[in-house]
């Protein structure tokens, strides 16, 4: 496979609702899309980096630098056998997982396009639909949180995730359980706590949570293993798992009983599949997280979540949960029972609405 051209499109999309976590709030997303040209056609992918270095040290600015000055010359100079071969090509670049993921996943998509099959087929997916959950950001009041949850449950989502932070945790969860005693419920701390908060986190054991996601430092595995022994509620790791090596260490230490796989966070599909396989061998369930992606990034997540180890509902919500108008056709919709269908057709199975990209365009850059 030879890449004949690469171009970046930075767009700005306004979220339907403000989304707040323990490290800040956003009302709009600046999204960088990568367009690769090859014999099989054009492949679009999405860079999930953000403007601020809060979720990750990688930002849109740093990722564009890596794509322009290091990855683009590699793509221009080398033939690539397919998605699995991308790791060999990009492996010499340390870190910068989000920049590498945008390219690596697009190369998997081009491989699927060349062979005329849906992307999930080349990844090893086994399902034609995926279980859908929804993430509820920090709201202005507890009653607003409850009303938001009720609205999402009425839509049919299979699981509710609620963002927490110190001072916005146990009483909130208690109020949710009082109103929704049976709903599958988890909380996400985005690394807002420390071992000094053990008693507070232990108090959450009383509320039958599916898991507590990333309670401690974003780079930590050791303290999570200590906390895991003190809690009845399973710990799920997100930010701490930056690749398959972190996964192996976490499983060895007993740092978690669930892992959230975000392909953009770990460098793409190759690492995602390696984490999936290691967790499946250890009987550790995984699910697919989200980064407030447009429909382009969501399509990649949907195809990945068809692998057999993704047994828990992921943060793969319908397009209308985020955007008044998504940039892909068809938009992702929540089906009966709280599932989202896998797009049919070769590759991603979606059409990128280039007129909408032009409408929301902030910057455009030809790499080669």
Instruction: Enumerate the active-site residues.
Output: 163, 262
Give the three-state DSSP class for 164. Answer: coil
CA distances from 270 to 31, 76, 253, 310, 361 (A): 23, 21, 23, 16, 31
Other C-beta atoms closer than 10 Å to the C-beta of 57 total 12
Neighbours of 219 (CB within 10 A): 11
Q: In sequence order, what are the beta bridge partners of 11?
A: 31, 361
Residue 244 dihedral angles phi and psi, to the nearest 5°: -65, -30
How wide is the angle at C-alpha 331 spanned by C-alphas 325 and 337, nearest 5°? Answer: 125
Q: Is the peptide bond before 47 cis (omega within 30 degrees of 0)?
A: no
Structure tokens at 202: 């232990």
Of 200, 197, 189, 202, the residue nearest 231 (C-alpha)? 202
**What b/e string do you get for 148-160 counting C-beta neighbours within 10 Å, with b at 16 or more?**
bbeebeeeebbbb
Secondary structure class of 344 (helix, strand, coil):
coil
Picking from 127, 78, 105, 315, the residue whose alpha carbon sits closest to that of residue 210 is: 315
Rg of the chain over Cα atoms, rounded to whole angstroms, equals 20
């Amino acid at each position: 496979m030879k890449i004949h051209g690469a171009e970046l499109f930075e767009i700005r999309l306004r979220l339907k609702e403000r989304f707040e976590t323990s490290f800040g709030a956003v009302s709009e997303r600046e999204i960088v899309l990568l367009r690769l040209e090859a014999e099989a056609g054009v492949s679009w992918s999405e860079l999930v980096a953000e403007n601020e270095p809060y979720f990750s040290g990688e930002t849109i600015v740093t990722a564009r630098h890596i794509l322009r000055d290091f990855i683009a010359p590699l793509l221009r100079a080398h033939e690539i056998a397919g998605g699995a071969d991308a790791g060999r090509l990009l492996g010499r670049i340390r870190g910068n997982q989000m920049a590498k993921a945008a390219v690596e996943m697009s190369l998997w998509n081009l491989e699927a396009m060349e062979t005329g099959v849906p992307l999930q087929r080349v990844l090893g997916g086994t399902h034609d639909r995926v279980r859908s959950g929804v993430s509820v950001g920090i709201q202005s009041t507890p009653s607003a949180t409850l009303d938001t949850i009720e609205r999402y449950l009425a839509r049919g989502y299979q699981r509710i995730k609620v963002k927490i932070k110190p001072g916005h945790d146990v009483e909130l969860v208690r109020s949710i359980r009082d109103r929704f005693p049976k709903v599958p419920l988890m909380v996400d701390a985005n690394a807002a706590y420390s071992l000094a908060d053990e008693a507070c986190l232990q108090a959450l054991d009383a509320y039958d949570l599916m898991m507590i996601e990333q309670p401690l430092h974003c780079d930590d595995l050791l303290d999570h293993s200590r906390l895991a022994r003190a809690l009845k509620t399973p710990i799920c790791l997100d930010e701490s798992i930056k690749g398959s090596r972190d996964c192996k260490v976490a499983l060895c230490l007993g740092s978690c009983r669930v892992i959230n796989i975000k392909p953009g966070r770990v460098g793409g599909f190759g690492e995602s599949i390696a984490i999936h396989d290691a967790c499946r061998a250890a009987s550790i369930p995984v699910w697919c997280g989200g980064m407030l992606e447009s429909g382009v990034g969501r399509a990649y997540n949907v195809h990945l979540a068809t692998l057999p180890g993704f047994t828990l509902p992921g943060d793969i919500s319908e397009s209308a949960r985020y955007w008044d108008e998504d940039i892909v056709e068809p938009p992702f919709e929540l089906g009966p029972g709280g599932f989202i269908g896998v797009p049919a057709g070769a590759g991603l199975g979606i059409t990128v609405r280039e007129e909408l990209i032009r409408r929301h365009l902030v910057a455009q850059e030809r790499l080669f």
